[in-house]
Structure 1
Amino acid sequence: MKGKRSLGQNFFINNNLGEYIVEKVKTSNTKSVIEIGPGLGFFTQRLINVFENVTVIEKDSELANNLRLQFPNISVINEDFLNFDLNQIMEIPSTYFGSLPYNVSKPIVKKIVESKSFTNPAYFIIQKEVAEKYIYKKPYSTLSLTTHIYSNCKKILDISPDSFKPKPHVNSTLISFIPKEINIQNIPLLKDLITLSFRHPRKNLLNNLKGTKFQNGSQLYKTYRPSDLSLDQYIEILKYSL
Structure 2
Amino acid sequence: MTVEGDTDALLGPADVRELAAALGLRPTKQRGQNFVIDANTVRRIVRTAGVGEDDAVLEIGPGLGSLTLGLLAAARHVTAVEIDDALAGALPATVAARLPGRADRFALVHDDALRVADLPGPAPQALVANLPYNVAVPVLLHLLATFPSLRRGLVMVQSEVADRLAAAPGSKVYGVPSVKAAWYAETRRAGSVGRTVFWPAPRVDSGLVSLTRRPP
Question: Which category describes the TM-score, using the shorter chain as reference length?
Answer: 0.7 to 0.9
Whole-angstrom CA distance in 1 between matches of 2:65 and 2:194: 20
Question: What is residue 131 of structure 1 aligned with on the other side?
Answer: 162
Residues 196-223 of structure 1: CA deviation (Å, up to 9, x unaligned): xxxxxxxxxxxxxxxxxxxxxxxxxxxx
For 2:4, the equivalent position in structure 1 comes to: none
Which of 123, 127, 152 is the aligned partner of 2:186?
152
User: 5+ residue gaps in structure 2?
Assistant: 1-19, 21-25, 97-102
Q: Which runs of 5+ in 1 are unaligned?
A: 183-242
Q: Is the alpha carbon distance of 1:89 and 1:149 closer, same or farther for their aligned partners in structure 2, counting shifts above 3 Å?
A: farther
Partner amino acid for 1:42? S
Does 1:39 pair with 2:63?
yes
CA contact (8 A) 2:52 2:74 kept: no
Matched, 1:50 2:74: yes
Aligned: 1:75 with 2:107:
yes
1:61 to 51, 71, 85: 85
Tell me, in whole angstroms, the C-alpha distance in 1 between the residues paired with 2:149 and 2:207: 21
Equivalent residue in structure 2 for 1:26, among 50, 53, 63: 50
Equivalent residue in structure 2 for 1:175, among 209, 212, 216: 209
> Post-superposition, which runs of at least 4 consecutive aligned residues in structure 1 deviate over 4 A?
27-30
Identify the match of residue 84 of structure 1 among 116, 139, 144: 116
Length-normalised TM-score, structure 2: 0.77
CA displacement at 1:163 relative to structure 2: 1.1
2:133 corresponds in structure 1 to 102
1:90 and 1:76 mapped to 2: Cα distance? 10
Task: Give the number of the structure with larger relative contact order, counting CA–CA contacts within 8 Å between residues 6 or more apart.
Answer: 2
Provide closer, same or farther for how the CA distance between residues 119 and 64 of structure 1 changes in structure 2, counting only shifts above 3 A. closer
**For 2:203, what is the secondary structure of its paired residue?**
coil
Give the drift of 1:27. 4.5
Partners of 1:90 and 1:117 within 8 A in 2: no
Q: Whose Rg is larger?
A: 1
The CA distance in 2 between the partners of 1:116 and 1:45, in whole Å, is 23
Distance 1:34 1:113 in 2: 11
Taking structure 1 as the reference length, the TM-score comes to 0.69
What residue identity is the alignment partner of 1:41? G
The 5 A counterparts of 1:105-120 are 105-120=136-151
Identity %: 27
Evaluate the alpha carbon distance shift between residue 93 and residue 5 of structure 1 in structure 2; reply closer, same or farther with a 3 A threshold. closer
Q: What is the rounded CA distance, in whole Å, between the counterparts of 2:180 and 2:52 in structure 1? A: 23
Separation (CA, whole Å) in 2 of partners of 1:126 and 1:37? 12
**Per-residue deviation at 1:94?**
2.4
- Render the CA deviation track for 1:57-85: whole Å, top value 9, x for unaligned: 11111011111212242211111111211
Contact conserved, 2:59 with 2:80, CA < 8 A, in 1? yes
Q: Supply the RMSD in Å over aligned alpha carbons.
A: 1.9
Query: What displacement does 1:6 show?
Result: 2.2
* Residue identity opposite 1:79 in structure 2: D
Structure 1 range deviating more: 143-152 or 109-118:
109-118
C-alpha deviation, 1:13, in angstroms: 1.1
